[in-house]
């Protein structure tokens, strides 16, 4: 019997609703008891994900990672555990801590996700285990050690990985010795605007590429001072580290291969401001520079804490811009608007990079399950080389701007 369009639509709707209800029921039944037997949240073909360092709802990058996995945007990732030492510990009574507690309660009820204040509270893995470390950079070295001890097969490490090159190199040695792969959250390596710009530049001999990154902080001493303190590793190890990873990945930029670095003094700005603690912090609020390599490559980076929400890249020829591609592009702006409406108080840059965050997590989670290469995803060696470049450039650029 042939069904009408209306009957087909009704059956499709019913099937989708039934599938959603089944997933919800499976989640609600999948709560775990510490110290007892565990019931598997992750289904076949999924990694059992531990989010380490969630941060404040609507503010922390870890929180947005959680939202994407809870909403099943990454099919190979099952967010089974959230480990949040600060808000489930000493920071629990703060206004942000109370906000976190509300979100925790809602998430536990809706998705069956287990929350813990420490990795020590977790049971052994019940599926291929992936740790997504998204806490404070200074905590990453000991968090990586703990994740390895808790049976993680793979670790997704947010940029820059560690406060210093020495610490990151030690983390690499530790992971290598344990046979644990560490992949990095350098999402711009898989961004559409980067690929489009590189493709176009390849068709223009003698062209010059500039990668531009913007944040939307208020241009005030209070706003930037808070930013400087929270990201005390500095702009090149924080906001602009994604662009440096692009230079390492695609333009042969390493400390040993840099021939020349030149700051754009007209654009750039460096300030010393007080953070919320009252301590002084010196950092770039905006910076632009050009690197020339010993093998003939030339590429520029521009970063502005108060420049807005868009990132983009340009291609120029003989000093004239001939190509520009934005993130988000016109195709993605509707998604950004929808996410802004859904999460009106969240950090704006979450939305412009939303598809790329999904891509990186999905590729890393799938790799954790099937062992196949995570295409385009930077590994910890790229992170080491990138951090070396950041440490090398910072004092040179500071000196040029005095």
What is the per-residue pLDDT for 41? 86
Three-state DSSP class for residue 307: coil
What is the per-residue pLDDT for 40? 52
Average pLDDT of the residues in 82-100: 96
Helices (H), 2-50: 5-28
Handedness of CA 192, 197, 202, 208 (dihedral sign): negative
* Partners of residue 304 on adjacent β-strands: 214, 286
Q: How far is CA 361 from the centre of its chain?
A: 9
Token pair belonging to 6: 């209306």
Q: Can you point out the beta strands (E) in 141-180?
A: 154-157
Number of CB atoms found within 10 A of residue 56's CB: 19
Do 66 and 54 contact (CB within 8 A), yes or no? yes
Q: Which of 189, 133, 180 is nearest to 161 (CA)?
A: 133
pLDDT tens digits along 325-384: 999 898 899 999 999 999 999 998 899 999 999 999 999 999 999 999 999 999 999 999
Three-state DSSP class for residue 224: helix
What is the per-residue pLDDT for 37? 37
Q: Which of 128, 158, 124, 165 is nearest to 144 (CA)?
A: 158
* Residue 119: pLDDT over 60: yes
What is the per-residue pLDDT for 107? 97
pLDDT tens digits along 289-301: 999 999 999 999 9
At residue 281 the predicted structure's pLDDT band, cuts being 50, 70 and 90, is very high
Average pLDDT of the residues in 192-202: 97
At residue 20 the predicted structure's pLDDT band, cuts being 50, 70 and 90, is very low
What is the per-residue pLDDT for 1? 43
Q: pTM value?
A: 0.85
207: which residues sit within 8 A by CB, 6+ positions away?
201, 315, 316, 317, 322
Q: How far is CA 317 from the centre of its chain?
A: 32
Token pair belonging to 357: 């965050």
Percent of the chain with pLDDT over 90: 85
Higher-confidence position of 73 and 8: 73
Average pLDDT of the residues in 86-95: 96
* Residue 19: pLDDT over 60: no
What is the per-residue pLDDT for 318? 96
Q: Which of 169, 170, 161 is nearest to 139 (CA)?
A: 161
203: which residues sit within 8 A by CB, 6+ positions away?
none
pLDDT tens digits along 120-142: 999 999 999 999 999 989 999 99
CA-to-CA dists, residue 267 to 274, 288, 304, angstroms: 23, 7, 9
Percent of the chain with pLDDT over 70: 90
Do 247 and 274 contact (CB within 8 A), yes or no? no
Q: Which of 284, 307, 306 is nearest to 399 (CA)?
A: 284
Do 234 and 164 contact (CB within 8 A), yes or no? no
* Residue 184: pLDDT over 70: yes
Residues across the chain: 402
CA atoms lying within 13 Å on the CB side of residue 357 = 20
What is the per-residue pLDDT for 349? 86
23: which residues sit within 8 A by CB, 6+ positions away?
72
CA distance 261 to 264: 10
Mean pLDDT of the chain: 91
């Amino acid at each position: 019997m042939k069904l009408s369009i209306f009957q087909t639509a009704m059956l499709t709707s019913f099937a989708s609703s039934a599938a959603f209800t089944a997933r919800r029921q499976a989640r609600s039944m999948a709560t775990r008891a510490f110290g007892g037997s565990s019931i598997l949240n992750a289904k076949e073909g999924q990694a059992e994900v531990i989010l380490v360092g969630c941060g404040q709802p609507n503010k922390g990058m870890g929180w947005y990672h959680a939202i994407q996995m809870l909403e099943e945007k990454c099919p190979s990732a099952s967010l089974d555990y959230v480990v949040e030492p600060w808000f489930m510990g000493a920071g629990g009574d703060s206004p942000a801590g109370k906000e976190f507690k509300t979100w925790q309660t809602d998430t536990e009820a809706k998705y069956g996700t287990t929350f813990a204040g420490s990795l020590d509270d977790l049971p052994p893995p019940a599926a291929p285990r992936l740790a997504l470390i998204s806490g404070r950079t200074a905590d990453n070295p000991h968090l990586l050690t703990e994740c390895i001890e808790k049976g993680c097969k793979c670790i997704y490490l947010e940029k820059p990985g560690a406060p210093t090159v020495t610490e990151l190199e030690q983390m690499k040695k530790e992971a290598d010795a344990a046979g644990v792969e560490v992949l990095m959250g350098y999402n711009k390596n898989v961004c559409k605007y980067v690929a489009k710009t590189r493709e176009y530049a390849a068709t223009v001999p003698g062209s010059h590429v500039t990668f531009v990154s913007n944040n939307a902080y208020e241009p005030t001493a209070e706003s930037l001072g808070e930013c400087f303190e929270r990201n005390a590793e500095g702009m090149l190890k924080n906001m602009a580290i994604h662009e440096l990873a692009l230079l390492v990945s695609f333009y042969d930029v390493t400390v040993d291969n840099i021939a020349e670095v030149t700051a754009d003094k007209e654009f750039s700005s460096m300030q010393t401001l007080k953070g919320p603690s009252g301590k002084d912090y010196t950092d770039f609020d905006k910076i632009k520079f050009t690197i020339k390599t010993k093998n003939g490559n030339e590429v520029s980076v521009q970063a502005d804490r108060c420049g807005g929400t868009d990132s983009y890249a340009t291609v120029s020829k003989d000093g004239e811009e001939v190509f520009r591609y934005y993130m988000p592009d016109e195709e993605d702006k509707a998604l950004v608007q929808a996410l802004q409406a859904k999460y009106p108080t969240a950090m704006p840059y979450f939305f412009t990079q939303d598809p790329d965050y999904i891509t990186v997590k999905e590729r890393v989670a799938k790799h954790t399950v099937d062992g196949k290469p995570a295409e385009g995803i930077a590994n910890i060696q790229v992170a080491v080389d990138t951090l070396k470049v950041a440490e090398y450039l910072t004092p040179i650029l500071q000196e040029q701007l005095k």
